[in-house]
Structure 1
């Protein structure tokens, strides 16, 4: 049993990571098609260690006969082509923000709310959450199961890869410019990113939060519990890969550090690395290239009646994007929610 799979946005950082992840996890494919904009037609991308795919133009591609499409081309492109693929009978797993808050589109993290997948057939589209939301809810879910979460206050430290290849290039070029005393002119960010932190990700909204901060709040409620209050401050930091978060959680009832640590040790997708000694925690450099959501610095928050604080790190291109999308496809396959067409 195998599938014809299209990867849309195959030349981007997330698209390449999706191709890599499909191959590494040996997802049952009979054919993989790499799609991108017309200007990328003919470029080559890797699938696994040996296979090389020629990129085809998304605008001209007919999705009939393709069972799964993994989209990461940007929201405006998904808005046009994801419904086109879905109408052709292809199940779309979309990594952009375009469909996340639409009521009939499941927003899924397989370790957290896999049952939501059963509603995908209404639109034939499944949304992949925001990268910073994914890692946080994976860590919160086992704790929420013990003592319901009332409120989350989170500060993120998000790498430039979350803004794409051009943003990574800007960090590299600005860092080099600082050392040779050249000017650093921001293009991808509102201020220089080299040796700096920028407390703005995405545009500002009416109430003063940025769009990224809004996403974390509304997506957490849709995925985990509609009654959880979330206050986020999202910061871009001069790191190439990996998002970190300082998370402060207020619970409705008692929960102690030992209970929380045990739940996190047993939780799927989580690795607890928490030694109270120098270096006994995980950083973004440690998490790069890894699949897990790492939790460190777990401790009681004495400022609220039932509170915990922890440090949470994950590779935003892996679990925050590509891996979560592939895990959704794996869950569809495992649960028999999708089947190959004739010849599969």
Structure 2
């Protein structure tokens, strides 16, 4: 839960209040009280009242021997990668990078609030349960027209149905498939490689391309390699267990996409709170009603659009910056 969301919730409480004094008409020094609920003032309020963001602890770490093995693999990879780039042989226009991220739209997995010294926490998701998690598969194109291409969302569905009932695949800038685990597999990987909505008007490719991706089981099956060859694609795998060290999309694009996603999701949550759109039944536990998969498609499309429009202080967009690094 961000300071911005706490501030917006405070505005909702004031505007909906029937208190004779603390209501939407309250003003301080001529300014509406609701306009004073800024993230900075919220942070100050939390500090003065000993309310802190909880954090998860006890994350398992790999042993030293395994970490050394990973580091050696990364060093070999970077050495092999550096030599051809030094002589200029790879064509940036035909370099692509594929990345995927598992999204669980549950803000309780972020930083919930609690009082200093609290020994336990009662979790109350304000969005939806874990069954709403999905996988977001994206490709970044290098070169002069570097950008994040149309993503594929993978929803959890026992029968791998497509299309899913009452979920048309018609949102511009995104498309979807489904699998029992919401993770990519060989079948979905081949469909992704063949999807013209992802690769644009240049599909099928008239020139050979190189596609970099993580060393995951769903990426390495024989059917994936066969499809890649048909599309004049050379698949290059990053070292295993080294995503944060060698995956360029983790540096900038995915961070920006998740920030946009959280901001837009929080905006949606505020609207749902205003409308009283709470989940009902014995298992509700104070949760908001499940917004449905259509919302996730709309969010994904909007986030990619916003990310591609952004540039850093040197007027370099995030996709190009990640591919350069």
**Shared fold per TM-score greater than 0.5:** no
Q: TM-score, normalised by structure 1?
A: 0.21
Q: Which has the higher strand share?
A: 1
Rg larger for:
2
